Amino acid sequence: MTTVFVTHPRDKLEQYFGPRAVRALQSIATARFNPEARDLSGEELIAAAEGCDAVIAYRQTPGPEPLFRQLPQLAAFIRCAVDIRTVDVGAASAHGVLVTQASPGYVPAVAEWVIAAMVDLGRGITRYAEAYHQGLAVRPFMGRELRGSTLGVIGYGQIGQYLCELALAFGMNVLVTTPRPIARRDRLAQVEMPALLAESDFVVCLAPANAQTENLMDAKAFGAMMHGAFFINASRGELVDEVALMQALESGRLAGCALDVGRAPDQMPSPALARHPLVLAAPHIGGLTLPAIEHQALETVSQLAALLKGEMPTGAVNAEHATRLRGWAGSAA
């Protein structure tokens, strides 16, 4: 029977893979699991996955060249996440290992988190709750409605598109900046970045992380935002110059911000920013809902099941180089 090693740390397995996916995996393969409540080092992972035909990899598990070279039986590296930037796909291909990635099942979850963050920022819900918890005198301030406010969305992928629909339903005006043309609609317009920053009450960063978007939100960008606007990052920490963000908060340029990602390990918001009184920080949980987690976990199991049937799964990144699959009975290669 095919043997699979699941790299999720022991304390992350239930929330980030789930018992339903574990049962599904065990029904088609012999499953071995990370025994530690932490990510394994490269050498530890190689030792733990010795003799395995496939690895189902947690989002934090890298796929470096030594892993593929030193595990000659490994035929598939199945990422339980969309982001495969830490996987050396070239090295995997050179050694004949198939790499797959999951599709984004977290679109509604992240978009809803952004809506919740905007409501919280505009109405001060967390600020009031914290004051009451501490027994402080609570001084009401004038809140902001989403209805009639302008949302600026940087990036128009699946999350961006879903978020725009929610914002329109709330009665917001929406500005979008994205490289490809999109159709103009009532209360939704595509604009260049400077116009979006200058005219938006809420700016949400949902652009992909790559070399072109590194520090996309820098001092110039924050300086171009409307005075008293709010900034929300639900994409990747690398898109934001954190020193510039801190300065924008300290100077009063921004009325506040919400962060579900940052430059701390595992895309967590950096502690200095998370502690700031004008920041709503969440520990990278925008996509942490049962439907979102089960979508990706069960998809990895489905990818493995397809391989066992001799089919190349949806999500395969380097199918033409997956020569080790020829060693699997009934494989697609």
The amino acid at residue 234 is: A
The amino acid at residue 97 is: V
Q: State the catalytic residue, choosing from 8, 95, 276, 284.
A: 284
Q: 291-328: b or e for each residue (b if 16 or more CB lie within 10 Å)?
A: ebbbbbbbbbbbbbbbbbeeebbebbbbbebbebbeeb
Give the strand order in the sheet containing 3-6: 30-33, 3-6, 54-57, 76-79, 98-100
Backbone CA torsion sign across 284, 78, 298, 26: negative
The residues, ordered by sequence, that sit 6+ positions from 127 with a Cβ below 8 Å of its Cβ are: none
Residue with tokens 């979508």: 295
Distance CA 87, CA 60 (A): 10
Nearest to 150 by CA among 191, 188, 178, 184: 188
Distance CA 61, CA 287 (A): 18
Distance CA 324, CA 63 (A): 16
Assign 3-class secondary structure to 101-118: CCCCCCHHHHHHHHHHHH
Backbone CA torsion sign across 121, 123, 127, 133: negative
321 is catalytic: no
Token pair listed for 22: 């574990």
> Rounded to the nearest 10 degrees, how much is the dihedral formed by the CA atoms of 74, 78, 84, 90?
30
- CA atoms lying within 13 Å on the CB side of residue 255: 20
The amino acid at residue 106 is: Y
Nearest to 235 by CA among 252, 219, 217, 220: 217
Give catalytic residue positions: 284
